[in-house]
Amino acid sequence: MTDLRGRWALVTGASSGLGVDFARELAGRGCPVVLVARREERLRQLAAELEAAHGVATHVLALDLADRHAPRTLHERLRADGIAVDVLVNNAGFGVFGPFLEIDWERERQMLELDVLAVVELTKRFATDMAERRAGWILQVASIGAFQPTPTYATYAAAKSFVLSFSDAIAHELRPYGVHVCTVCPGVTATEFLTVAGQRPTLYQRLMMMQSPAVARSAVRALLRGRTSVVPGVGNALSAFSMRLMPRGIQATIAKAAMSGGGSGPT
Protein backbone atom coordinates (compact mmCIF):
# COMPACT_ATOMS: atom_id res chain seq x y z
CA MET A 1 0.00 0.00 0.00
CA THR A 2 1.14 3.58 -0.69
CA ASP A 3 3.16 5.28 2.03
CA LEU A 4 1.86 8.80 2.67
CA ARG A 5 4.26 9.77 5.48
CA GLY A 6 5.14 13.46 5.41
CA ARG A 7 2.60 14.34 2.71
CA TRP A 8 0.08 17.08 3.58
CA ALA A 9 -3.55 15.96 3.62
CA LEU A 10 -6.48 18.39 3.44
CA VAL A 11 -9.72 17.18 5.03
CA THR A 12 -12.84 19.29 4.57
CA GLY A 13 -15.65 18.90 7.10
CA ALA A 14 -13.17 17.88 9.80
CA SER A 15 -15.18 19.21 12.75
CA SER A 16 -17.53 16.23 12.99
CA GLY A 17 -18.30 12.67 11.92
CA LEU A 18 -16.44 11.13 9.02
CA GLY A 19 -14.13 14.11 8.58
CA VAL A 20 -12.74 13.65 12.10
CA ASP A 21 -12.06 10.00 11.36
CA PHE A 22 -10.50 10.70 7.95
CA ALA A 23 -8.14 13.13 9.69
CA ARG A 24 -7.31 10.58 12.42
CA GLU A 25 -6.75 7.85 9.81
CA LEU A 26 -4.41 10.00 7.72
CA ALA A 27 -2.53 11.45 10.70
CA GLY A 28 -2.09 7.87 11.92
CA ARG A 29 -0.35 7.16 8.61
CA GLY A 30 2.05 10.05 9.18
CA CYS A 31 0.33 12.82 7.19
CA PRO A 32 0.42 16.39 8.44
CA VAL A 33 -3.18 17.58 8.07
CA VAL A 34 -5.09 20.71 7.14
CA LEU A 35 -8.47 20.76 8.89
CA VAL A 36 -11.32 22.81 7.39
CA ALA A 37 -14.92 23.43 8.51
CA ARG A 38 -16.90 26.29 10.03
CA ARG A 39 -16.65 25.32 13.74
CA GLU A 40 -13.11 26.43 14.51
CA GLU A 41 -13.01 25.37 18.17
CA ARG A 42 -13.70 21.75 17.24
CA LEU A 43 -10.99 21.86 14.58
CA ARG A 44 -8.49 23.19 17.12
CA GLN A 45 -9.36 20.40 19.57
CA LEU A 46 -8.84 17.79 16.87
CA ALA A 47 -5.57 19.43 15.78
CA ALA A 48 -4.26 19.22 19.36
CA GLU A 49 -5.32 15.57 19.59
CA LEU A 50 -3.59 14.64 16.31
CA GLU A 51 -0.38 16.46 17.19
CA ALA A 52 -0.22 14.72 20.57
CA ALA A 53 -1.19 11.26 19.32
CA HIS A 54 0.78 11.11 16.06
CA GLY A 55 3.40 13.89 16.21
CA VAL A 56 2.19 15.40 12.93
CA ALA A 57 1.88 19.07 12.00
CA THR A 58 -1.61 20.50 11.65
CA HIS A 59 -3.13 23.60 10.11
CA VAL A 60 -6.63 24.85 10.95
CA LEU A 61 -8.76 26.99 8.64
CA ALA A 62 -12.33 27.97 9.55
CA LEU A 63 -14.24 28.50 6.31
CA ASP A 64 -17.79 28.26 5.02
CA LEU A 65 -17.25 26.22 1.87
CA ALA A 66 -20.79 26.96 0.67
CA ASP A 67 -19.55 30.52 0.06
CA ARG A 68 -18.66 30.58 -3.62
CA HIS A 69 -15.33 32.31 -2.97
CA ALA A 70 -14.21 29.90 -0.23
CA PRO A 71 -12.57 27.18 -2.38
CA ARG A 72 -10.36 29.79 -4.05
CA THR A 73 -9.57 31.38 -0.67
CA LEU A 74 -8.61 28.00 0.76
CA HIS A 75 -6.34 27.18 -2.16
CA GLU A 76 -4.65 30.60 -2.10
CA ARG A 77 -4.12 30.62 1.67
CA LEU A 78 -2.46 27.22 1.66
CA ARG A 79 -0.27 28.25 -1.24
CA ALA A 80 0.74 31.42 0.64
CA ASP A 81 1.56 29.29 3.69
CA GLY A 82 3.77 27.02 1.58
CA ILE A 83 1.59 23.95 2.08
CA ALA A 84 1.50 21.60 -0.92
CA VAL A 85 -1.53 19.35 -0.56
CA ASP A 86 -0.86 15.80 -1.78
CA VAL A 87 -4.01 14.23 -0.34
CA LEU A 88 -7.41 15.92 -0.73
CA VAL A 89 -10.45 14.54 1.09
CA ASN A 90 -13.59 16.25 -0.21
CA ASN A 91 -15.76 15.27 2.73
CA ALA A 92 -17.70 18.39 3.83
CA GLY A 93 -21.33 17.98 2.94
CA PHE A 94 -24.86 17.73 4.20
CA GLY A 95 -28.28 16.49 3.12
CA VAL A 96 -31.75 17.95 3.42
CA PHE A 97 -34.57 15.52 4.14
CA GLY A 98 -38.20 16.09 3.18
CA PRO A 99 -40.70 16.36 0.33
CA PHE A 100 -39.13 18.29 -2.54
CA LEU A 101 -41.97 20.86 -2.67
CA GLU A 102 -41.55 21.67 1.03
CA ILE A 103 -37.78 22.04 1.26
CA ASP A 104 -36.58 25.62 1.56
CA TRP A 105 -34.76 26.59 -1.65
CA GLU A 106 -32.05 28.61 0.09
CA ARG A 107 -31.02 25.60 2.18
CA GLU A 108 -31.10 23.35 -0.86
CA ARG A 109 -29.03 25.86 -2.84
CA GLN A 110 -26.38 25.94 -0.08
CA MET A 111 -26.31 22.17 -0.14
CA LEU A 112 -25.64 22.17 -3.88
CA GLU A 113 -22.94 24.83 -3.47
CA LEU A 114 -21.19 22.65 -0.89
CA ASP A 115 -21.88 19.11 -2.11
CA VAL A 116 -21.33 19.82 -5.80
CA LEU A 117 -19.69 23.14 -6.70
CA ALA A 118 -17.14 23.28 -3.87
CA VAL A 119 -16.19 19.65 -4.57
CA VAL A 120 -15.55 20.37 -8.26
CA GLU A 121 -13.65 23.61 -7.65
CA LEU A 122 -11.45 22.18 -4.89
CA THR A 123 -10.75 19.14 -7.05
CA LYS A 124 -9.83 21.29 -10.04
CA ARG A 125 -7.54 23.61 -8.06
CA PHE A 126 -5.69 20.98 -6.03
CA ALA A 127 -5.59 18.35 -8.81
CA THR A 128 -3.89 20.90 -11.07
CA ASP A 129 -1.07 21.28 -8.51
CA MET A 130 -0.89 17.52 -7.99
CA ALA A 131 -0.68 16.88 -11.74
CA GLU A 132 2.21 19.35 -12.00
CA ARG A 133 4.04 17.42 -9.25
CA ARG A 134 3.02 14.08 -10.82
CA ALA A 135 1.63 12.78 -7.50
CA GLY A 136 -1.65 13.07 -5.65
CA TRP A 137 -4.51 11.25 -3.97
CA ILE A 138 -8.09 12.50 -3.98
CA LEU A 139 -10.83 10.91 -1.90
CA GLN A 140 -14.34 12.01 -2.85
CA VAL A 141 -17.18 11.39 -0.42
CA ALA A 142 -20.40 10.48 -2.25
CA SER A 143 -23.08 8.24 -0.73
CA ILE A 144 -24.88 4.99 -1.30
CA GLY A 145 -27.66 7.38 -2.38
CA ALA A 146 -25.58 7.99 -5.52
CA PHE A 147 -26.80 4.64 -6.88
CA GLN A 148 -30.53 5.34 -6.89
CA PRO A 149 -33.07 8.16 -7.18
CA THR A 150 -34.20 8.76 -3.58
CA PRO A 151 -37.57 10.38 -2.88
CA THR A 152 -37.35 12.73 0.19
CA TYR A 153 -33.60 13.11 -0.51
CA ALA A 154 -34.11 13.88 -4.22
CA THR A 155 -31.63 16.74 -4.55
CA TYR A 156 -29.07 15.32 -2.11
CA ALA A 157 -29.00 11.88 -3.79
CA ALA A 158 -28.75 13.55 -7.21
CA ALA A 159 -25.83 15.66 -5.96
CA LYS A 160 -24.05 12.52 -4.77
CA SER A 161 -24.74 10.82 -8.14
CA PHE A 162 -23.00 13.80 -9.70
CA VAL A 163 -20.00 13.37 -7.37
CA LEU A 164 -19.69 9.67 -8.24
CA SER A 165 -20.02 10.15 -12.00
CA PHE A 166 -17.69 13.18 -12.05
CA SER A 167 -15.08 11.41 -9.94
CA ASP A 168 -15.16 8.15 -11.93
CA ALA A 169 -14.55 10.21 -15.07
CA ILE A 170 -11.65 12.28 -13.74
CA ALA A 171 -10.08 9.16 -12.20
CA HIS A 172 -9.39 8.16 -15.81
CA GLU A 173 -8.26 11.61 -16.90
CA LEU A 174 -5.87 12.14 -14.00
CA ARG A 175 -4.28 8.68 -13.86
CA PRO A 176 -1.59 9.51 -16.47
CA TYR A 177 -0.54 12.43 -14.23
CA GLY A 178 0.01 10.17 -11.22
CA VAL A 179 -3.13 11.47 -9.46
CA HIS A 180 -5.37 8.79 -7.95
CA VAL A 181 -9.07 9.46 -7.44
CA CYS A 182 -11.26 7.22 -5.31
CA THR A 183 -14.91 7.75 -4.38
CA VAL A 184 -16.34 6.37 -1.17
CA CYS A 185 -20.09 5.75 -1.08
CA PRO A 186 -21.01 5.29 2.59
CA GLY A 187 -24.32 3.93 3.70
CA VAL A 188 -25.94 5.39 6.79
CA THR A 189 -23.20 6.17 9.30
CA ALA A 190 -23.43 7.31 12.92
CA THR A 191 -22.50 11.01 12.63
CA GLU A 192 -24.39 14.32 12.86
CA PHE A 193 -25.68 13.78 9.31
CA LEU A 194 -29.28 12.79 10.12
CA THR A 195 -29.67 15.53 12.73
CA VAL A 196 -28.45 18.15 10.25
CA ALA A 197 -30.69 16.69 7.51
CA GLY A 198 -33.69 16.81 9.85
CA GLN A 199 -34.55 13.11 9.74
CA ARG A 200 -35.25 10.67 12.54
CA PRO A 201 -33.63 7.35 11.57
CA THR A 202 -35.89 4.69 10.06
CA LEU A 203 -35.75 1.04 11.14
CA TYR A 204 -33.77 0.27 7.96
CA GLN A 205 -31.26 2.98 8.80
CA ARG A 206 -30.89 1.79 12.39
CA LEU A 207 -30.23 -1.77 11.21
CA MET A 208 -27.71 -0.72 8.54
CA MET A 209 -25.89 1.99 10.53
CA MET A 210 -22.09 1.76 10.47
CA GLN A 211 -19.58 3.44 12.76
CA SER A 212 -17.63 6.32 11.31
CA PRO A 213 -14.04 5.04 12.04
CA ALA A 214 -14.73 1.82 10.12
CA VAL A 215 -16.06 3.75 7.11
CA ALA A 216 -13.07 6.12 7.11
CA ARG A 217 -10.58 3.23 7.39
CA SER A 218 -12.19 1.35 4.51
CA ALA A 219 -12.17 4.49 2.34
CA VAL A 220 -8.52 5.39 2.97
CA ARG A 221 -7.43 1.81 2.34
CA ALA A 222 -9.32 1.78 -0.98
CA LEU A 223 -7.66 5.07 -1.98
CA LEU A 224 -4.20 3.77 -1.16
CA ARG A 225 -4.82 0.48 -2.99
CA GLY A 226 -5.62 2.41 -6.17
CA ARG A 227 -9.34 1.57 -6.27
CA THR A 228 -11.64 4.07 -7.98
CA SER A 229 -14.61 3.48 -5.68
CA VAL A 230 -15.65 1.68 -2.53
CA VAL A 231 -18.93 1.00 -0.73
CA PRO A 232 -18.00 0.24 2.91
CA GLY A 233 -19.88 -2.62 4.60
CA VAL A 234 -21.01 -5.89 3.04
CA GLY A 235 -24.74 -5.05 3.34
CA ASN A 236 -24.23 -1.66 1.70
CA ALA A 237 -22.09 -3.14 -1.07
CA LEU A 238 -24.76 -5.76 -1.83
CA SER A 239 -27.46 -3.12 -1.81
CA ALA A 240 -25.51 -0.88 -4.23
CA PHE A 241 -24.78 -3.82 -6.52
CA SER A 242 -28.39 -5.03 -6.60
CA MET A 243 -29.64 -1.50 -7.35
CA ARG A 244 -27.62 -1.54 -10.59
CA LEU A 245 -29.62 -4.54 -11.79
CA MET A 246 -33.04 -2.88 -11.35
CA PRO A 247 -35.06 -0.43 -13.46
CA ARG A 248 -34.81 3.10 -12.05
CA GLY A 249 -38.52 3.24 -11.17
CA ILE A 250 -38.10 0.24 -8.89
CA GLN A 251 -34.91 1.71 -7.42
CA ALA A 252 -36.87 4.83 -6.45
CA THR A 253 -39.70 2.78 -4.93
CA ILE A 254 -37.27 0.78 -2.79
CA ALA A 255 -35.36 3.91 -1.74
CA LYS A 256 -38.62 5.61 -0.76
CA ALA A 257 -39.59 2.63 1.41
CA ALA A 258 -36.16 2.62 3.09
CA MET A 259 -36.52 6.33 3.95
CA SER A 260 -40.10 6.05 5.25
CA GLY A 261 -41.17 5.55 8.82
CA GLY A 262 -38.64 7.64 10.74
CA GLY A 263 -40.18 11.01 10.05
CA SER A 264 -38.62 14.45 10.18
CA GLY A 265 -37.40 16.29 13.25
CA PRO A 266 -34.62 15.90 15.82
CA THR A 267 -32.94 12.47 15.94
**Residues engaged in binding ligand NAP (CB under 6 A):** 13-19, 37-39, 64-66, 91-95, 114, 141, 143, 186, 188-189, 191-193, 196
Query: Is 58 or 91 the residue whose CB approaches ligand NAP more closely?
Result: 91
Q: Write the DSSP symbol of residue 115.
A: I
Exposed/middle/buried for residue 62 (C-beta within 10 Å: 0-12, 13-18, 19+): middle
CB of 241 to ligand NAP, least distance (A): 17
In single-letter form, the type of residue at position 104 comes to: D
Active site residue 156: yes
| Alpha carbon distances (Å) from 33 to 79, 93, 119 | 14, 19, 18
| Alpha carbon distances (Å) from 221 to 73, 81, 175, 225, 231 | 30, 29, 18, 6, 12
How far is the C-alpha of 191 from the C-alpha of 188, rounded, in Å?
Answer: 9
Query: Is 253 or 267 the residue whose CB approaches ligand NAP more closely?
Result: 267
CB of 10 to ligand NAP, least distance (A): 12
Q: Which of 124, 160, 177, 256 is catalytic?
A: 160
CB of 50 to ligand NAP, least distance (A): 15
| Alpha carbon distances (Å) from 95 to 114, 154, 164, 197 | 10, 10, 16, 5
Neighbour-count burial for 256-266, b at 16+ CB within 10 Å, e otherwise: eebbeebeeee
Phi, psi of 204 (to 5 degrees): -55, -45
CB of 83 to ligand NAP, least distance (A): 18
CB of 130 to ligand NAP, least distance (A): 21
Q: What amino acid positions are annotated as catalytic residues?
A: 156, 160
